[in-house]
Structure 1
Amino acid sequence: MQVTALVWGITIVVILGLFVFDFFAHVRTPHEPTFRESGFWSAVYIGLALAFGGVIAWKWGGTFAGEYYAGFVTEKALSVDNLFVFLIIMSTFAVPRIYQQKVLLIGIVVALAMRGGFIAVGAAAISAFSWVFYLFGFFLVYTAVKLLKESGHEVEEEQKRDSRIVALVKRLVPTTETYDGDKLITRIDGRRTVTPMLLALLAIGFADLLFALDSIPAIYGLTEEPYIVFTANAFALMGLRQLYFLIGGLLDRLVYLSYGLAAILAFIGVKLVLHALHENSLPFINGGEHVSVPEISTAVSLLVILGILVVATVASLLRTRGQARSKSASGPGE
């Protein structure tokens, strides 16, 4: 897949342009988006992501388009898991609903910039050392096992990490416990002071940085093309703000999502290890020769990932159906 510097430049400009449009069209004026607004723009950004896959198919072929779609679906699923932590952060800092859009959008842009660094480092490592696939594969399997063990407690673990970074910031710079509109920095008695809005933004950015440690190796298990890795991440993050307001009330019903994500990470981890064995160059494995093992195609990967997500989602909704009915019956006063 040959991607020129011009194509890279145009892609980055277009993506940044979409974020700028999002800010001026929806975020600049503080408000709480309605369900209809969130649903419409979520559909728009998902449509753009799917259409971009068509562009890849037209320019570089169906194989790379399949890798992009598999990567996009995986990153989107992992991004939904991020929303659990975002909800906790918003609640912890008591961010007013009308200002939450700004925190999310800025945090997502910062997250994409940080992920760009991870993507570049990962691409350089893979290009120089084929055995990196072993590391990525075993790391994803380890992450999957850890996610299963911590199921139901992973949000608390992320919250503890966020508390450490926020506590560090509070020690280094003056902070205030009160909001001043949607300002990140305000003045109190003539002194510049950090508001809780900026602290919430830092917590979200730091949380997504940790999530990137899982998501970047995962998508490199589906494609080795940095361009596909970057664009799949960008489009997955692009509609995350709208998705936060669209399915926020449903997140507590996705009780089996973490199990599904663990299965996906484990599957991709095994796929990476098989690929590493097929491309093996380590002298202590099969004398440095390639190992004849089956490899998992992109089409199979996409079907497995979609299947796991469907099963986890349906099982979660069926499992919590009684709880939803109880809440509806109890009425808004409960």
Structure 2
Amino acid sequence: MDPGVRSISGHLNLPLLQELIQLTQYSDTQLAKDIQQGLPVIGKMPEIKGVFAPLKSNPDPKESNKKKTKKKKKLTASQLLDEASSSMRKTLNEIRLGEFDEEIWTATLAEVESGLMEGPYSHEEAFQRFGRHVISKRFPVRQPDKTRLCDDYRRSQVNAATEYTQRITLPTHHTLEVAWRKMSKARPGEPMTIYKSDHAAAYRQVPTDPNEAPFQLICVKGPDGEPAIFRHLALSFGASSSVVNYCRLSQCLIHLHRVMFGAVSMSFIDDYWGIEPATSAATAYECWTVLNELLGFKEKESKKAPPSSDVRLLGLDVQLSANTLTLSLTDEKRKQLCNSLSE
């Protein structure tokens, strides 16, 4: 196993994951092997039948023509490197002229310390180590409870070199409603509950292919005023391929939980939940925890929620009673909506 890949996934029980995939006849038979080698960043994403849906075909010729005009031509790896080389001096100068952000610098060094990144490198050092490469700028997305570091793979055109043959389909509140109706019909009069979980730094638990390191470089301004380049070892926020690659894992874990333990569980990217009768909910919740522990995937303890009849899910408050399921806006969203209407 490559040292960079081992830094991210060396603790995972990939032989067990492979065995469970075979045992439950899961479609994504290459997942464990791909995690062992690191997942792709650019190029054509693998087609996995039975996991992701085919791309939508639009029957309306007018709409189809509109999409064709908006669709940008995909770049090859060679074309991407050519584009990056021609604009490298300009990009580096823009970073030199930008403001030094202490928060970004400190957080990036912390990722190096935790084994998620390598660096910092000067431009010359990066060229010696990776050859021709692409650098993406890093920027903060400040949220109420945290600051998320994102990398601009759109402007660097890394995302333009990524191609998909399938689309991800995710559950919604309607999916939850359908599951609740079926469960209530099968177990009439029995109270229903929902439990939740979340992977800790979800994308950062999945390694990337070391052969694609030249496309996983980000650049920030260092305290000396010079550009500092870092290499991602795991999936990163900003790369469109990260969503598909992580969903390969999340869909597999949900499949294992359903098939092996008979649980009614779902996932929306890295948000996991299940709906169960009160009599079996605690067991289903425990099985989910044990499954992750055995395979080596880390849950975010602060986001774990044991079975309850009153939870917040996908931005809405969900309340379950003996015969009803109620979805309502959170107080914060209600205030935002009222303010928008009054403006």
Normalised by the size of structure 1, how large is the TM-score? 0.27
Structure with higher RCO (Cα < 8 A, 6+ apart): 1
Q: Which has the larger radius of gyration?
A: 2
| Between structures 1 and 2, the one with greater strand share | 2
* TM-score of the superposed pair, with normalisation by structure 2: 0.26
